[in-house]
Structure 1
Amino acid sequence: MHAVQVYNYKSQLPRKDVGGTLGFNDVFDLRYETVLTGGHELLCKDFLLFTADHRYMIVVSAVPSGFPRPLHNPSSLKNIFLLDDITFWVLDIEKGQVTDKRVFMHDYIFLSNHAGVHLYDNMLGIASVQNQSIYILHIKDSGILLDVRTIGYLNNEDDELVLARYRLAEQMYSNKKVTGGPELFWDYMDNTGEEDEDSDWDRERAWEGWEGSSLGSPSSDSTPPPLPVRRSEPPDSTNAMVPDGPIDRSRNGRATSLRSFATPSSTAIPYECTPLSGVKQRLMAYLFRKAYASDKTSQLTHFYQTFAHFASLALWRMHFLDNFHIVIKFGLADAIVGKNIDSATSSHTSFFVIYSLATTKVLGVYENTSEELLKLYEDWQVCSGTPYNQSGFSISNPTNSLFAREEHSRRIRAVQKARNGGPVQAVKRVLSGLPFNDQQFVDSPYLDHELFSYDDKAINNVDRARPSGEHPIKFFDRQTGQFKFAIDPNLPLNSRQVYAQVRGVKRYVTCIFHPVDPFILSIQQVNSSLTVVNLHIRREQQLEPDQ
Structure 2
Amino acid sequence: MEYFKRKKHLENIVFRLIDRERYGCKKPATQLYTIRRFYQNVFPNFTVINVEKPPCFIRKFTPDGKYAIAFSADQSSLEVYSYQGPAAAADLLQKIANSDKLEETIYEEIKRNIFARFFKLKHSINITTNEQLNRECSLFTDDGRYVIVGSASYIPEEIRPHFYEIYTNNEAVTPTLRSPLEEYTLHLVDLHMGKLCDVRKFKVDKIFLSHNQGLYLYKDTLAVLSVQHQLIHIFQILDGMFVDVRKIGRFCYEDDLYLYNLVYPSERAFKDVCINSLKHRLLTFLYRRASNKSSQTGDPTELRKFYHYFDNFCSLKMWKMQLLDDNHLLIKYASEEVVTLKQTDPNSSEPQFFVVYNMLESRVIAVYENSSSELVELLENFNDYFRNACLHNSNIQS
Give the TM-score normalised by structure 2.
0.67
The equivalent of 2:201 in structure 1 is 103
Query: Residues 274 and 109 of structure 1: is their aligned pair in 2 closer, same or farther, counting only changes over 3 Å?
Result: farther
Q: Does 1:7 align with 2:81?
A: yes
Q: Does 1:56 align with 2:153?
A: no
Q: 1:389 aligns with which of 364, 370, 392?
A: 392
Q: 1:165 aligns with which of 259, 262, 266?
A: 262
The equivalent of 1:264 in structure 2 is none
Q: Work out the CA distance in 2 between the residues paired with 1:37 and 1:316.
A: 28
Q: Does 1:79 align with 2:175?
A: yes
Query: Residues 53 and 339 of structure 1: is their aligned pair in 2 closer, same or farther, counting only changes over 3 Å?
Result: farther
Q: Which amino acid aligns with 2:386?
A: C
CA deviation digits over 1:342-401, x for unaligned, max 9? Answer: x5357753211011112211111001111101111111241343347268x9xxxxxxxx
Q: 2:302 aligns with which of 283, 286, 299?
A: 299
Q: Work out the CA distance in 1 between the residues paired with 2:206 and 2:247.
A: 16
SS in 2 for 1:13: coil
Q: 2:127 aligns with which of 36, 47, 50?
A: 36
* Number of aligned residues: 290
The equivalent of 1:374 in structure 2 is 376
The 5 Å alignment of 1:256-271 reads: none
Q: Which amino acid aligns with 1:349?
A: P
CA deviation digits over 1:257-291, x for unaligned, max 9? Answer: xxxxxxxxxxxxxxx98532211111111101111
Q: Which amino acid aligns with 1:138?
A: Q
The equivalent of 1:531 in structure 2 is none
Q: Work out the CA distance in 2 between the residues paired with 1:374 and 1:390.
A: 29
Q: Which amino acid aligns with 2:121?
A: L
Q: Work out the CA distance in 2 between the residues paired with 1:169 and 1:45.
A: 42
Q: Does 1:336 align with 2:339?
A: yes
Q: Work out the CA distance in 2 between the residues paired with 1:129 and 1:288.
A: 25
Report if the CA contact (8 A) 2:188-2:197 is conserved: yes
CA deviation digits over 1:181-238, x for unaligned, max 9? Answer: xxxxxxxxxxxxxxxxxxxxxxxxxxxxxxxxxxxxxxxxxxxxxxxxxxxxxxxxxx
Report if the CA contact (8 A) 2:175-2:340 is conserved: no
The equivalent of 1:22 in structure 2 is 111
The structure with the greater share of residues assigned to strand is 2
The 5 Å alignment of 1:524-543 reads: none
Report if the CA contact (8 A) 1:376-1:383 is conserved: no
SS in 1 for 2:261: helix
SS in 2 for 1:46: strand
CA shift for structure 1 position 128: 0.7
Q: Which amino acid aligns with 1:22?
A: K
CA deviation digits over 1:305-336, x for unaligned, max 9? Answer: 11111111110221111222111111122123
Give the TM-score normalised by structure 1.
0.50
Identity fraction in percent: 32
SS in 2 for 1:290: helix
Q: Work out the CA distance in 1 between the residues paired with 2:359 and 2:370.
A: 23
The equivalent of 2:224 in structure 1 is 126
Report if the CA contact (8 A) 1:134-1:151 is conserved: yes
The 5 Å alignment of 1:175-324 reads: 274-294=273-293, 295=297, 296-324=299-327
CA deviation digits over 1:150-205, x for unaligned, max 9? Answer: 000111111112212222699xxxxxxxxxxxxxxxxxxxxxxxxxxxxxxxxxxx
CA shift for structure 1 position 105: 0.4
Q: Which amino acid aligns with 1:14?
A: A
The 5 Å alignment of 1:509-524 reads: none
Q: 2:241 aligns with which of 107, 120, 144?
A: 144
The structure with the greater share of residues assigned to helix is 2
Query: Residues 27 and 329 of structure 1: is their aligned pair in 2 closer, same or farther, counting only changes over 3 Å?
Result: same
Structure label with greater radius of gyration: 1
Report if the CA contact (8 A) 1:286-1:362 is conserved: yes
CA deviation digits over 1:390-426, x for unaligned, max 9? Answer: 68x9xxxxxxxxxxxxxxxxxxxxxxxxxxxxxxxxx
Report if the CA contact (8 A) 2:173-2:336 is conserved: no
CA shift for structure 1 position 38: 2.1
Runs of 4+ in structure 1 over 4 Å off? 345-348
Query: Which structure is richer in relative contact order (CA contacts within 8 A, separation 6 or more)?
Result: 2
The 5 Å alignment of 1:418-497 reads: none
Q: Work out the CA distance in 2 between the residues paired with 1:95 and 1:125.
A: 25
Q: Which amino acid aligns with 1:114?
A: N
The equivalent of 1:261 in structure 2 is none
Report if the CA contact (8 A) 1:117-1:317 is conserved: no
Query: Residues 373 and 7 of structure 1: is their aligned pair in 2 closer, same or farther, counting only changes over 3 Å?
Result: same
What 5-or-longer segments of structure 2 have no aligned partner?
1-74, 97-101
SS in 1 for 2:290: helix
Query: Residues 100 and 368 of structure 1: is their aligned pair in 2 closer, same or farther, counting only changes over 3 Å?
Result: same
Q: Does 1:135 align with 2:233?
A: yes
Report if the CA contact (8 A) 1:6-1:32 is conserved: yes
Query: Residues 92 and 388 of structure 1: is their aligned pair in 2 closer, same or farther, counting only changes over 3 Å?
Result: closer
The equivalent of 1:156 in structure 2 is 253
Report if the CA contact (8 A) 1:335-1:348 is conserved: no
SS in 2 for 1:287: helix
Query: Residues 5 and 151 of structure 1: is their aligned pair in 2 closer, same or farther, counting only changes over 3 Å?
Result: same
Q: Which amino acid aligns with 1:44?
A: N
